[in-house]
Structures are given as structure tokens and as C-alpha cells.
Amino acid sequence: MCRTGDVPEPAETGDGTGTDAAFTALLEDSVEDLYESAPCGYLSTMMDGTIAKINNTLLDWLGLSREAVVGTRRFPDLLTVGGKLYHETHFAPLLRMQGELHGIALEMKTRDGRRLPVLVSSLVKQSSEGEPLLIRTTVFDASDRRAYEEELLRRRHEAEQARAEAEAARVQAEEARRQAEADRARLADALAVLQQSLVPTSLPDVPGLETAVYYHTASADRLGGDFYDLFPLDGERWGFFLGDVCGKGPQAASLTSLTRYTLRAAALHDPEPAAALATLNAVLYERYAAGGDPRYCTAVFGIVEPGADGGPAAVRMASGGHPPALVLRSDGRAEFLPTPGGLLVGVLPDAPIGTVKTALAPGDTLLLYTDGLTEGRTGPTRGDMYGEEALHAFATDLAPAPPDEVITALTGLLKSFGDGLDDDTALLALGVPPVRPHPRPTTSHPR
């Protein structure tokens, strides 16, 4: 529906006949026709998700008949397995709490088995007494978003081809170089925007904990695959994870996005770290490996429960093929927290997952990192790998240190690698503030 002020005024002709006719023509569409033939999908459901009304646009997109949907299916039944999991564990609970959600990315399944990427917005209609009556939902086709990723790949291929032709044909070398650089600059701008959408812009404040994070992108013209997050589970516990997906570019970005949202949704459904990684493994295996296109990741997922009054924080973690976390203790020690037996997530239908527990005392700092740090190349010829032993020695010399000092020191270490750092690197540090001694009260003595 448009407001009157949003419609340009027709040019005046001296009488109102032309103007009235134009507005009358605009208003001839019936409300029912506007609903059924809208450029987006509309549906209304009962509070349990049962579909009560759906427009022709959405039915055409899905290839379904109205009789097969209305009164017989629930909204989650129209979604893919991953979309249904996200709806049940994240979308539906938030909608019940907030009353509305906007622009949520999901995938719907069509009658012929295709996946339709969509953006969904829902609003709970309430009675005059505030009781929820039904849910109104709009669905927008997001297929162009996928096409945009393919366009990015095409542009990158064109840039590489232009550089190859420039070497073969010196007459056109300068023009080809300028074109390639222009394409690369546009691609880098687009990739930078996409990269920022794959990780949180900032970490939340966690009572009783100090946090710090750093993300290094190895190449401006490739989307990275490292990811991290920190989010509340309830009033006392916080979930965190960090990992690295296989590959680079738009495919890795798509896998990173799926991994982050799956872990968040899984944590809300079952906050046990091993259960969250098992859910991620099932989603990745079903979507990729089972279809003959295996994609996987390494990941560590944890739950931290800060202690009361500045006391120790309890930490439980699970790992799927990820490098061990490192703890800088308040007494000056540094120790790895190994999670043996954990396998890459998404390779097997039932991947083994390693688990570990620890306590962070006041002054302790927990460090999570991706292998870009330990696989950085050092030495005069950049032929030596930095490795876990060097990282342990570095942390031992640094301990004890709060999260911000740990991340600052490691950022300087990464910069010292120079061109020996050719992989993305994510760093996440969580720590318990040290106990500050109470000042002794001053006592004045009479003279």
C-alpha cells in the first residue's frame, strides 16, 4: 500500500478529468487480486503453524496446489531440513517472544525438489485483549543473492583471463592490466562487504568475563572461511565457537554462514557442546557429502559459566578436528587443552567429537585460534612453520595476561610473519579478571 504523498502528481491539464481517470485506473485492482498476484509470497498460519491462507504467487513458486497446502500442512513443512531446524529452534521462539521478525534467510523446497532461497518476515496478529490469533508471513524470492555469488566468480575468472592474455599479447598488455585491476578492485569491494557479514561486528559484554577478538584476512580478493561468535544462552551461561571451513571464495562464505547459524540454532535447542557439533555435522553431511560434494570444517564449541562475585568460570568445550585451545594461567603457566579423537565436521555421518572441561580462575585467559597462526611461515626464506611449540613458548612468556593483552601481542606476532602469513586467522580470548586487592584503610594516630 502506498501513501498518497509517495505518488507523483499528474501534470495539470486544465480540468480534473484526466487526473481522476488516472487515479481511478490505479484503484480498479481488487484487494483479492492484489493479494493473490503480489510480487511476493503471502501466507497466514495458525499459531501452531498450520497454513490457513496462501496466495497464488507462493503456490506458483513452490509448484503446489492450494488444496494440498491449506489446512493440511504447517509452514515448517514447506522448508528444507536445515530451514526447518532453524525455524523450530530459533525463528519460532523469537517470533513468540518478540511478536515480529524481519528479513530472515531460509530455504523452501519446491515440488520438484529444488531449493528456493527466500527472505521471510512474520508478524503475530493479536486480539484486542492481547491474545495471539494468527501469524502473517511475507516471503521474498532471494534467488538473485545466489546469482550474485556466481557473478562474483565470473568476474574473478574474467580478471584472471585478462591477466593471462596480457602476458601473451604485449601489444594489449597495458590496457588488459588496467581492466584486470579495475575488476579486481570492484571484486575486492564486494568481497569486503560480504566478509564483514560473516563475523560479528563486536563482542557482547559478558558479566564476570573479559573478552577480545581479532580477525586477519589473508587476501583482499578472496572470501575467508574462518568464523567465531559469542552469544548468551540464558542468564548465566554463554556460548562461544571458533572454526575454519574448507576452501575460499563465495562457496566458503556460504558454508561459513550456514555453519554459524546452525551452531547458534543448535545451541538454543541443546546447549551441550558435543550435541551442537553433532547437529552441525548432520546438517553439513546431509547438504554436501551425501550429495557427492563434501564440504567440511574444523570447529570448537564451548559453554562458559562465569563464577559468582568474580570467582572461577566453568568451561566445557567440544572440538571437531580443531587445534587445541590454550590457557594462560594466572601463575605464569601456559597449557594446551587437548581434545583427542575429534574429527573434521561434515565428513562422516557420525563424526567423533572430542570434549574437555576446565575452570578459569581469576587472572586466567582462554585462547582459541585457527591454524593460520600456527601454520604461519617464518625464517629468512619463509620455509619454517611457526607451530604449536613456538606458540606455547610465546604464551608462557606472556602469561599471565588478560585477553586484550593476549590478542594485542598475537596481532603483533602475525604482522611479524609478513608474507609468510598466507591464510586467514581468527583469534578469540576469554578471561576472568584478576582479583584486585582491597586497599587498607588509613589510620590516623593522635599526637
CB 280 within 8 A of CB 265: no
The label of the residue with cell 509452514 reads: 75
Which residues make beta-bridge pairs with 314? 305, 359
pLDDT number for residue 7:
41
Low pLDDT (below 50) residues in the chain:
1-13, 190, 193, 445, 447
DSSP string, 387-439: HHHHHHHHHHHH-S--HHHHHHHHHHHHHHTGGG--S-EEEEEEEPPPPPPPP
The label of the residue with cell 579495475 reads: 182
CA torsion, points 162, 167, 172, 173, in degrees to nearest 10? 90
DSSP 89: I
Residues with Cβ within 8 Å of residue 411, at least 6 apart in sequence: 214, 216, 427
CB 337 within 8 A of CB 304: no
Task: Phi first, then psi: give them for residue 120, nearest 5 degrees.
Answer: -115, 135
CB 142 within 8 A of CB 105: yes
User: CA 244 to CA 240: how far, in whole Å?
Assistant: 14
Peptide bond into 434 cis (omega under 30): no
Model confidence over 397-410: pLDDT tens digits?
999 999 999 999 99
What is the pairing mode between strands 297-305 and 313-320?
antiparallel
**Cell triple for 57:** 504467487
Task: Phi first, then psi: give them for residue 320, nearest 5 degrees.
Answer: -120, 90
User: CA 156 to CA 175: how far, in whole Å?
Assistant: 17
Amino acid at 124: V
Sign for the pseudo-dihedral over CA of 282, 286, 288, 291: positive
CA–centroid distance for 310 within its chain: 31
CB 369 within 8 A of CB 323: yes
